[in-house]
């Protein structure tokens, strides 16, 4: 989460030049210039923000379901499965495997040992 926050703060600073350029070159009153600068920034940075907050480069994508049968121990409980990270992709998995919290943690350690970044 810290990486996303840092990326967002950097992105926020990149909007400053847009505001400065609009304030310097536009011939409208200050309020109109500010509104137009924010509109232009919104048109640009909507896509950047979307990338930052939906990207799996900064975090993992998990799927969670209620009342599953754990594929490892057979316990009926809330189920977890890692779907996608930077170097792991199970988005198209036709037979997803859900695990209880305990078995999910064990599986996560196994994946980390294999070099999967979570």
Q: What angle do CA 91, 86, 54 make, to 5 degrees?
A: 70
Distance CA(79)–CA(50), nearest Å, equals 28
Question: So what's the pLDDT on residue 48?
Answer: 85
Mean pLDDT per 10-residue segment, the chain (118 residues): 80 88 93 93 87 66 92 95 86 93 93 84
Report pLDDT for 85. 83
Which pLDDT belongs to residue 1? 63
Residue whose structure tokens are 């907050």: 53
């Amino acid at each position: 989460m810290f990486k996303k926050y840092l990326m967002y703060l950097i992105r926020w600073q990149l909007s400053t030049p847009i505001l400065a350029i609009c304030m310097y070159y536009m011939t409208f009153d200050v309020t109109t210039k500010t509104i137009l600068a924010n509109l232009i920034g919104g048109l640009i940075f909507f896509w950047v923000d979307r990338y930052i907050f939906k990207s799996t480069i900064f975090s993992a994508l998990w799927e969670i379901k209620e009342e599953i049968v754990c594929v490892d121990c057979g316990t009926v409980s809330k189920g977890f499965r890692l779907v996608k990270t930077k170097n792991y992709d199970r988005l198209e998995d036709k037979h997803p495997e859900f695990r209880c919290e305990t078995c999910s943690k064990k599986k996560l350690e196994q994946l980390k040992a294999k070099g999967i970044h979570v």
